Amino acid sequence: MQNVSMEKIVSLAKRRGFVFPSSEIYGGFAATYDFGPLGFLLKKNIEKAWRRWNVESRTDMVEIEGAIFMHPRVWEASGHVGGFADTLVEDLVTHKRYRADHLIEEAGIMASAGGLSLQEINDVIEANKLKSPDGNPLSKSKKFNQLVKTHLGATEDDTTLVYLKGESCQNIYLDYKMVQETMRLKLPFGIAQIGKAFRNEITVKNFLFRTREFEQMDVQYFCRPKDAGGYYDEWKKNRWDFYTQCMGFDKANVRWRQHEKNEKAFYATDAWDIEYKFGELDFKEVEGVHHRGSYDLDQHAKFSGKDLSYLDEETGERFNPYIIECSGGFNRLFLACLFEFYREEEDRTVLSFPAKLAPYKAAVFPLLRNKPDLVARAKSIFDLLRAEHMVAWDDRGNIGKRYYAQDEIGTPFCITVDFQTLDDDTVTVRDRDTATQKRVAVGELADFLRQR
C-alpha cells in the first residue's frame, strides 16, 4: 500500500461507482452510504471470500441469517439496555456533542481513553484544560445509550418499543440450541453470520469507518469451558491468517492490540482487536476477538426462563458452552481493501485487487468499434465469458483509455479482439499489474480466468 489519503479513496469510490453518499440529492444524510454497482460486486466478493474461509472450508461451522427485529427483552438480557453507552461531552457554546474518549485521544493526552469512568474523564478534561474542537469549554461527561429505538405496531408507547440490533450476533445465541439440535452438532462448533447492526454513534466521521448502520461478519464458536483458552488462541491465529493470507493484506498494515482491563466490553473476559492502518487515520480496529465465556447463554437462559444447556454425551454433564467471538466490521474491511490495493503510478491509478475480489474478472474490447467483424467476434467472446464470470464490455475511446479505466476499478485482465483474432482465434490478454500482454486462444479463456 502507498501512503494514500482518505480524500483520494472517497473520491475514487464515488467517481467509479463503489460508494455513494446516501440521500445525496437531499444534501446527504450523515454517515450513511450506498454501495454502487462496483461496490456491490466488491462487497459480494469479499463476503464470498470470508464465507469460503470461515464456513465452507471447515466442517465445524454453519451459517445463519437472522432477522433485524428481535424481542426487546433480548437487549435487556444482553446488557445493552443497561450498559451499551458511550461517554459524551457537550460544547457549552455550540451545543455540539462529542465522544469524550475520542477528544482525549485526538488531543494526544492518552492513546486509549475508552475505559475511563465519568469522574476520570472529567478529571482529565479539567487537568488538561481540554476544549471542544471549536475552542469552547466542555460540559461534564455523561453516558449516552447507543441502541437505536423504534416502535412496531399500531401505537407508539412502551409496549411497542423495539431496538434495532446493537450487535448482529445476538440471533446466534438465541438460535444456538435449534442450530445444534437440527444440525446434530457436537461441541466444538461455530455459527457464522453476516448481518446488520445499528448504533446511535455520537460522532460519525471518516467515511465508512464509523457509521450508524453497518454490517458485522461474525463467527461465534461454542466450546467446552476447559477448551476455551486453546480455541481463543486458535481463532486469533485464524484471524491473522484471514487478513494476511485470505485478503492478501501486507503484514505491515495489520497489528494486534489487547484491550485494557477497564476498556473491555461488559461481556468479555479477554479481548483483542485486529487493527488495520487506514492511511492518515493510522491503526484502527477492524475486528474484535472476544472471549465471552458463557455470559450470553447464561443471560438469555435467565431472562427467557429456558434451559440453554448442552448435554455432553461423553461425560453426561450439562453446561452452557463458552463462546469465542470473532466480530469483524464489514464496512471497515471494505474500506481496508480500498486502502490496501490503491496504487498511483506515473500514468495510472490502479486498484490491484486479488482476482477473487475484483468486481470484474476481465474486460473485453474490440480493437476498433467501427469494424463490425471485430465487434461481432468480441461480443461473442464477451457472451461466452459472462456466462461464468463478471466481465465488463468497453468499446469507447482508444485502448489506452480503456486500460486506464479498467485499472482504476481493479479489473485484472483486459482482453482485446483484433484482426489476428479473425485469423487464428487468439486474443491479447493484458495483465493489470505488470501491464504485459500475451496471446491466448479463445477456447482457453474461460479456463484461464477460472484459475485466477
Q: Which residues bind ligand GAP (CB under 6 A)?
A: 167, 169, 199, 201, 210-211, 214, 216, 285-288, 325, 327-329, 331-332
Query: In whole angstroms, how close is the CB of 166 to ligand GAP at the nearest point?
Result: 8
Give the separation between CA 41 and CA 47, rounded to whole angstroms.
Answer: 10
Measured in residues, the chain has a length of 452
Query: In the complex with ligand GAP, which residue's Cβ is closer, 285 or 395?
Result: 285
Give the span between the Cα atoms of 122 and 140, in whole angstroms: 6
Comparison of 207 and 365: residue with beta carbon closer to ligand GAP: 207
**Closest of 331, 332, 403, 398 to residue 369, by C-alpha:** 398
Sign of CA dihedral 253, 259, 264, 267: positive
SS3 400: helix
Q: Nearest distance from residue 278's CB to ligand GAP, in Å?
A: 11
Q: Are 121 and 141 in contact (CB under 8 A)?
A: yes
Least CB distance from residue 391 to ligand GAP, whole Å? Answer: 32
Q: Which is nearer to ligand GAP, 328 or 366 (CB)?
A: 328
Cell numbers for 57: 472450508
Taking the complex as a whole, how short is the minimal distance between the CB of residue 105 and ligand GAP, in angstroms? 16
Name the minimum Å distance from CB 239 to ligand GAP: 11
DSSP 286-324: EEEEEEEETHHHHHHHHHH-----EE-TTT--EEPPEEE
Q: Determine the residue with CB nearest ligand GAP.
A: 329
Minimum CB distance to ligand GAP, residue 327 (Å): 4
CA distances from residue 131 to 108, 126, 139, 330, 415 in whole angstroms, order as listed:
13, 9, 10, 34, 58
Residue number, 89 or 286, with CB nearest to ligand GAP: 286
Q: Considering the complex, state which of residue 90 and residue 287 has its C-beta at the smaller distance from ligand GAP.
A: 287
Q: Which is nearer to ligand GAP, 218 or 394 (CB)?
A: 218
Q: Least separation, in Å, of the C-beta of 432 and ligand GAP?
A: 29
Q: Which is nearer to ligand GAP, 201 or 340 (CB)?
A: 201
Q: Please state, in angstroms and rounded to a whole number, the distance separating the CA atoms of residues 365 and 130.
A: 59
Strand (E) positions, 304-452? 310-311, 318-319, 322-329, 342-345, 348-351, 362-366, 391-393, 413-417, 426-431, 437-441
